[in-house]
Copies of this chain bind each other. A is one copy, B any other.
Amino acid sequence: MRVQGRSYRSVWLEGAVVRLIDQRLLPHQFAILDCPTSHDTAQAIVTMAVRGAGAIGAAAGFGMAQAALGAPQGSFASSIEQAARMIRSTRPTARDLFYAVECVEASIRQAPDLEAARRAAVQTAQRLADENAAAGEQIGLAGEPLLQDGANVMTQCNAGWLAFADWGSALAPIYQAQRRGKRPFVYVPETRPRGQGAKLTAWELGQEGVSHALIADTACGTFIQRGEVDCLLVGADRIAANGDVANKIGTYTLAVLADRHHVPFYVAAPRSTFDLSTPTGAAIVIEERGEEEVLWVWGRSADDTWQRVQISPAATRARNPAFDVTPAALVTAFITEAGLIPPRPDAIEAFVRRETALPSA
């Protein structure tokens, strides 16, 4: 996708350096963060300089490739193992992260020698990022026919190209519809506590010229209730075998509202987000993040500096679950790179197994 006229991916590998758009600074500053080592890349995931299931997956793959490039001959296997452990421990919820680590590890195991292992690691990481970008494009094409001319869409958080290697999941059908002249309109919930809707989705949509309005998270219900929303389009961090969806906190509420008002609720995600080894949503680890995200809000101050303000009394404590689980029964359909998939275990399994990219160990 394009930023200020130039083409970018959210994260990419240049030589042995992982480069990524620093999402902590958006929308007020556009800057590229360089991560020279796999440790730096893991830190970028922890600090959420890079976030979003697909982008995290791509960064994790590149981080593993960096580990392979930098691991000394004498302790190659243990270095790779250590890097895998470090990257897996960055964030617990997104399926794509674990999938990418597994894939690069498998490609290293299958290589005949050290140089081949390094090459294989880089190639696999690059392939995963390319597949993620291609999946985003295909998801867009699969979802675009669901949007009528002038459709009013509500999304949540940022499931756009910043959250992917490219294109995105939930926003990809909107970008495709926009390019076909359908002029969709997007309700963008702020998505507290981190405000990815306000900071990232509003920025992405603005760059692509898509009409939209920022709304408080509290206002989602009233717009759905009034019949002003034609469909909901959200992403996913992990989808269980039965179709339960872990996604950004707030998603479950939107699904319940959509169900009550008979508005279609679509979950857009590539194959790498589906996890057959997780039977239901009950088995998904939900990350509870630090309370400071709830107690403070980051933004641009009147004097144009990047600041945070405390919104509550100094003594107030907070709870901060970062994701929630939407039961499969509330999902109208999954929008995938292979088209629409119904939220049924058999259909999900058939889709995931059809051409799984995960090499057998």
Residues in A lying within 8 Å of B, measured CB to CB: 27-28, 187, 189-193, 195, 198-199, 202-203, 206, 212-223, 225, 248-250, 252-253, 256-257, 260, 286, 291, 294-302, 307-313, 315-321, 324-325
- What residues of B have a CB within 8 angstroms of the CB of A216 in the complex? 192-193, 217, 249-250, 294, 320
Interface contacts beyond A190-B311, A215-B320: sample of 15 additional A-B pairs, CB < 8 Å, sorted by A: A187-B319, A193-B216, A212-B317, A213-B317, A213-B318, A214-B316, A214-B317, A214-B318, A216-B217, A219-B320, A256-B257, A297-B309, A297-B311, A299-B308, A309-B309
Do B27 and A214 touch across chains, with their CB atoms under 8 A apart?
Answer: no
Residue of B nearest to A220 (CB): B253
Do A299 and B309 touch across chains, with their CB atoms under 8 A apart?
Answer: yes
- What residues of B have a CB within 8 angstroms of the CB of A214 in the complex? 291, 294-295, 312, 316-319
Min CB gap A3→B, angstroms: 12
Do A222 and B252 touch across chains, with their CB atoms under 8 A apart?
Answer: yes
Known: A294-B190, A318-B215. A311 touches B253 (CB 8 A): no
Min CB gap A247→B, angstroms: 11
Min CB gap A158→B, angstroms: 12
- A346 to B301 CA separation, bound complex (whole angstroms): 53
- A11 to B134 CA separation, bound complex (whole angstroms): 61
Min CB gap A196→B, angstroms: 11
- A217 to B217 CA separation, bound complex (whole angstroms): 6
- What residues of B have a CB within 8 angstroms of the CB of A225 in the complex? 252, 324-325
- A217 to B156 CA separation, bound complex (whole angstroms): 13
Output the residue of A203, A222, A225, A301 with the most chain B CB within 10 A: A222
Output the residue of A253, A260, A294, A299 with the most chain B CB within 10 A: A253
- A245 to B237 CA separation, bound complex (whole angstroms): 36
Residue from B199, B250, B301 within 8 A of A312 (CB atoms):
B199
- A218 to B203 CA separation, bound complex (whole angstroms): 21
Residue from B219, B256, B296 within 8 A of A250 (CB atoms):
B219
- A308 to B309 CA separation, bound complex (whole angstroms): 7
- What residues of B have a CB within 8 angstroms of the CB of A316 in the complex? 198, 202, 206, 212, 214
Known: A192-B216, A217-B192. A198 touches B311 (CB 8 A): yes
Output the residue of A192, A199, A301, A310 with the most chain B CB within 10 A: A192
Residue of B nearest to A221 (CB): B253
Do B313 and A206 touch across chains, with their CB atoms under 8 A apart?
Answer: yes
- What residues of B have a CB within 8 angstroms of the CB of A249 in the complex? 216, 218-219, 222
- What residues of B have a CB within 8 angstroms of the CB of A218 in the complex? 189, 191-193, 217, 248-250, 253
- A250 to B223 CA separation, bound complex (whole angstroms): 11
- A54 to B309 CA separation, bound complex (whole angstroms): 29
- What residues of B have a CB within 8 angstroms of the CB of A308 in the complex? 299, 301-302, 309
Residue of B nearest to A195 (CB): B311
Residue of B nearest to A306 (CB): B309
